[in-house]
A and B are shown apart, each in its own frame.
Chain A
Amino acid sequence: SAVISQKPSRDICQRGTSLTIQCQVDSQVTMMFWYRQQPGQSLTLIATANQGSEATYESGFVIDKFPISRPNLTFSTLTVSNMSPEDSSIYLCSAETGSGSEAFFGQGTRLTVV
């Protein structure tokens, strides 16, 4: 199994600013993912964070808005850039330990943009 810690757990930010969310896993994992959960909605995959290469973004998400870093096998960051109220969501980090395994989730970062 894997334990995932996300920081911050919540934040209130001014529009136009940026917030970086950190995701730390207690063991080395192959794949890490970032999801967005808008109020009252399900989870939508933003991107897959690849170690040593650029993240792979899903349709509707771009690197300029959501830059991602994955410097090693246990850590990743997601930045929400130039925020607007529409970015108010819960952002969740997920990790998979290997092909065929389950995905583990962090507790999420609740972001409110005012």
Chain B
Amino acid sequence: AQSVTQPDIHITVSEGASLELRCNYSYGATPYLFWYVQSPGQGLQLLLKYFSGDTLVQGIKGFEAEFKRSQSSFNLRKPSVHWSDAAEYFCAVGALSGSARQLTFGSGTQLTVLP
């Protein structure tokens, strides 16, 4: 069965600083990988996804992530954080189950942005 680990429960950065959120996955085949963001009281919004091809993927809001198969990682990065980026971030791996793809989520990383 697939699993996702987000080792950082809470990260605090200053506005304008760079950001890296870690994600490690376990899956027996080539994974589909996702990063979602959840603002308070909101649903999940997809930031970016990796299915195949270029291992560096660009997403919305200036985010990017790099798939490293050798490290089973899919870390999320942003060069300069904005106050509006404060939210909870979830990494997920998608696994095919019959005709559906089921998402397994990590435990999430809460991002606080200091002014």
Contacts and interface: CB of A to CB of B under 8 A. Distances in A.
Interface of A: 4, 6, 30-31, 33, 41-45, 48, 56, 92, 94, 96, 99-100, 102-108, 110
Interface residues of B, number: 24
Contact of B43 (A41, A44, A92, A102): A92
A99 B99 contact: yes
Dominant secondary structure of chain B at its interface with chain A: strand
A41 B107 contact: yes
Nearest to A104: B46
Nearest to A9: B41
A110 B43 CA distance: 11
Dominant secondary structure of chain A at its interface with chain B: strand
A107 B99 contact: no
A105 B44 contact: yes
25 contacts: A4-B43, A31-B99, A31-B100, A41-B107, A42-B90, A42-B105, A42-B107, A42-B108, A43-B90, A43-B103, A92-B43, A92-B44, A96-B101, A99-B99, A102-B46, A102-B49, A103-B94, A103-B101, A105-B36, A105-B44, A105-B45, A106-B43, A107-B41, A108-B43, A110-B41
Given A92-B44, A100-B51, A102-B34, A45 B102 contact: yes
A89 to B, nearest CB: 14
